[in-house]
A and B are shown apart, each in its own frame.
Chain A
Amino acid sequence: MSRCRKMADIGRRQFLRGGAIATSGAAAAVVAPSRAKAAPAAALLEYPSNRLANIADLATNEPLDVSYPDDDAPGVLLKLGQAVEGGTGPDGDIVGFSTVCPHKGYPLAYDAADRTFNCPGHYSRFDPEAGGQQVWGQATQNLPQYTLRVDDNGDIYAEGVDELLYGRLSNVL
């Protein structure tokens, strides 16, 4: 039994180290009597699969305003014109990002000249060609990027986000 417990413990630690610290659900705590049945909850957040645009809607190096996973979460789709790591679509060059600065929630502006997202609040900037890496700035995380899927019709779907969005303690409210 002790070995079993230990294995379970190690497994849990690895799980937490993998980044999924949010083992607690989004629901409010309930003081439950001892015989109450625990409510089942999935370990991962259920993201909506939302169609954001069609490839035909995108022009190279011109961000297209979208929102994901809901209307209160602004972002963009961006066709970069050359394949990047994490890019999708037939040319591997389509990426999607939140455009709310993960430092203090200011709206980011796109500078097409050097392909960066810039924050007018405190001068942070992020590189969509490098997975949203903060080039320089105050945020303690890189820019949240969408998990994208492109179907046979060229429709682009967002199906997840890889960092916590500013202003919400659950990416899906």
Chain B
Amino acid sequence: MAYKRQIDRLPIIPADAKKHNVTCHYCIVGCGYHAYTWPIKKQGGTGADANAFGVDLSEQQGADAEAWYAPSMYNVVKQDGEDVHLVIKPDQNCVVNSGLGSIRGARMAENRPSEVTGSQQQRLGEPMVWRYGTWQPTSWDDALDLVARVTARVIDQENEDDLFVSMFDHGGSAGGYENTWGTGKLYFESMKVKNCRIHNRPAYNSEVHSTRDMGIGELNYCYEDYQLTDTIFLIGANPLECQTNLFLNHMVPGMRNGAKVVIVDPRRTVTANACEIEAGADNVLHLAIESGTDLALFNTLFTYIADQGWVDQDFISASTFQDGVAQPQNEQHPSALGSFEAARDACRMSLTDGAAICGVAEADIIKAAEWIAKPKDDGSRRKCVSAYEKGIIWGNDNYRTIGGLVNIALATGNIGREGGGVCRLGGHQEGYFRPSDAHVGRPAPYLDDLIIRGQGKVHHIWANDHFKTTLNAVAFKREYNRRTNIVKEAMDARAGATRDEMVDAIVGAIEAGGIFSVNVDIIHTQIGQCAHVILPAVESGEMNLTSMNGERRMRLVEKYMDGPGSAMPDCLIAAGMARHLERVLREEGRDAYADQFKGYDWASEEDAFMDGYNSGNPEVTYERLRAMGNDGVQEPVVGYENDKLVGTKRLYVDGKFDRHGREDKKALFCAGAWRGLQAAGKAAQKSGHAFLINNGRSNINWQNWFLDKDNDFVSDRYPYPFLEINPEDMAELGLKEGDLVEIYNDVGATQAMAYPTPTARRGETFMLFGAPTGTQGNVINAGVNELVLPNYKQTWANIRKISDAPAAVSHMSFKSKEYSSG
């Protein structure tokens, strides 16, 4: 039987409950919510004067009612040390979501740690140190002293290359401007750490170097543009599942306003189905291209649109570079950049060639070009908004492919205008404010590969779980386990030693090939199993936290509850590390170096915010953001008038492009020709294996399931990662629904449960990424592009049955995920 909570009533929010602004801290969209809290022995009533909504709750509420909340929106948590009721429910008046809650955000309350209801008891509350053969809880001072003493032994003022750092750069969860600044100040200002990476990729680099090099920041529109446009062009994106309320609250109204939709994706997603329902099948074009051929499609579209003369010549003349090549191809630039004509020459691809490479009909490419760029019958310009995401970001030839897409938007003048934009949809909330990372270099070091090859002595990890989310994961896990075990064994051998003796033992083990691992996270992660020191962090809502969404809308989440135990905001953990490093370096007589670690006397996350973000954006304070509520302000903030922050609705409305730093403010086109499967080993893997193992997200599982793995509603739906596979392929493999399969290839193996999917093409599967019970990264090879962008999507493998469906899936529905009106 499906999981049921057996809850048949909930406490009513009293009229005098505290109300806090909350931006959902999961996906990029950042839906507005309110967190209500009130004392544990109080409750509201059904009378209109006795509850927070002012309505009669003894009556059935209608659809879209404000005065209802699901059991998943309720919990009992600690606030200032006292138990309080908590309801976190969507904000009807927030412009982002208009009261809609996603299957992820509407579980925020349920996913808070609670000693009373027993939820999320996996959360870390106290620092732990590897001691006596396991992890022992300890004080912050003890744990940070050990981190500082070992770290200080491998760094010096001239060379910090033996300190490896994996650190989130996102805005949600435990990120935010406060925490990216705290970590950024430590590693990029006090130190100049170059061997580092970001939470979802093996290097410290941009996901979208090419659009930035072309002058165009990747979040340049506003969500309203989807309602103003003629055509929505979606590439490698599945917004109904991954940016749910952007789709429901902005794209759907756009379709109802008459917008057509072009979808580029090898797989038929629920997004495609929903678009057909809303726009009508005649107004939706799904180009189910061969995996990894997006660039060939873009270059064909670009060529055809240019040949037809459907370009915005005035825009090209006024706003783009005119004289050939502006930036030659080199080690930092996987393609030349320059004028429209230079790009047109380099990218030229015929309909015949494009259709053959992409595996789609020429007529469909022509139809796409018409929907994107053909002027209307009255001669007016067609508006098109282009939205892309991990399908091409984590796909073949990242630099040229994204550049090829931006070429189309540039040529048709669809940037900085109503109903336009060419944007990354985004994953997490954003919240990046750090000192310059220029010292990291470009291409950035391939950190995970360096670790596999024995480099790095101390590894600080901030909310990264490589074990679930890196590529070449089998090799990484094997080496990381081995190297951290060298240190664990050395520590075990010196049980009872003094601190100095223990540090000597650890450093000895490091010199023998080990690596000392410090893990800062909210839960005990899979890579955390290797840690020698574990430091507990809090999440959004357990601290005040600022972030921005995919249209650069910045909001403040007001702290509404205590974190578990003595867990702290990451910025204050970073400050603690800095203070301990300063103390230890001074003890060692390294005063000049110790001085670099001054400036962390922050008492709160607000202090970190003022030290960081506010220093670059002096108009923006907590008080002013609080007053802006759940609608916040769109960055960049350009002023403060009439008691309100003044933001920027769209970027580049003046046709001047500056993301590349060029003084002429002219955008560049990307002259990147199609060159097949670019990353090492991909073509051979494709020819040597039977199945494409395409991969990505689902609606229900947030990222790598860090909280959801402890959520009964979620784990009931998918106890194992699903592998969507054609029923005829299943028959050939002797598989029934729910059977456990092994997916294996030249670099590793993993497991999943078979989910029969008639819309899946033969030989093309889709596996849920980041799952704890079957890591897709195990079968992704080490191939990256020239700038160390991973290629997760183009993965091929063979499939064999491991066993009949495990007991944990026997209750599951394996029906189609596509809505049907019957």
Chain A residues packing against B (C-beta within 8 Å): 13, 16-22, 24, 26-29, 44-45, 47, 72-73, 85-86, 102-106, 109-116, 118-125, 127, 129-142, 145, 160-164, 166-173
Contact = CB atoms under 8 A, between A and B. Distances in A.
Contacts of A20: 6-7
Count chain A CB atoms within 10 A of each CB in B62, B101, B822 and give the residue with the most: B822
A166 B68 contact: yes
Given A106-B63, A167-B61, A111 B822 contact: yes
Contact of B65 (A13, A44, A105, A170): A105
Top 5 A-B residue pairs of the complex, sorted by shortest distance between their CB atoms: A28-B45, A131-B2, A111-B822, A133-B2, A123-B819
Count chain A CB atoms within 10 A of each CB in B6, B64, B69, B74 and give the residue with the most: B6
Contacts of B713: 140-142
A120 B822 CA distance: 11
B205 to A, nearest CB: 34
A116 B820 contact: yes
Contact of B44 (A29, A103, A112, A131): A29
B63 A24 contact: no
Contacts of A17: 117-118
B134 interface: no
B14 interface: yes
Contact of B4 (A113, A162, A168): A162
A173 B42 CA distance: 20
A44 B57 CA distance: 19
Given A104-B64, A167-B60, A167-B61, A133 B9 contact: no
B8 A135 contact: no
B484 to A, nearest CB: 35
B466 to A, nearest CB: 30
Contacts of B642: none
A123 B811 contact: no
A164 B820 contact: no
Count chain A CB atoms within 10 A of each CB in B10, B60, B72, B248 and give the residue with the most: B60
Interface in B771-819: 811-813, 815-819
Contact of A29 (B6, B42, B240, B815): B42
A86 B59 CA distance: 30
The main secondary structure of chain B at its interface with chain A is: loop
B755 to A, nearest CB: 11
B122 interface: no
B270 A123 contact: yes
B817 A21 contact: no
B753 interface: no
Nearest to A171: B8
A13 B121 CA distance: 13
A140 B65 contact: no
A28 B47 contact: yes
Given A29-B50, A114-B820, A105 B63 contact: yes
B439 interface: no
B1 A131 contact: yes
B100 A104 contact: yes
Contacts of B59: 72, 173
Given A13-B115, A164-B71, A173-B60, 12 more contacts: A13-B118, A18-B6, A19-B6, A86-B1, A104-B63, A105-B65, A113-B822, A116-B815, A119-B819, A133-B812, A140-B70, A140-B110
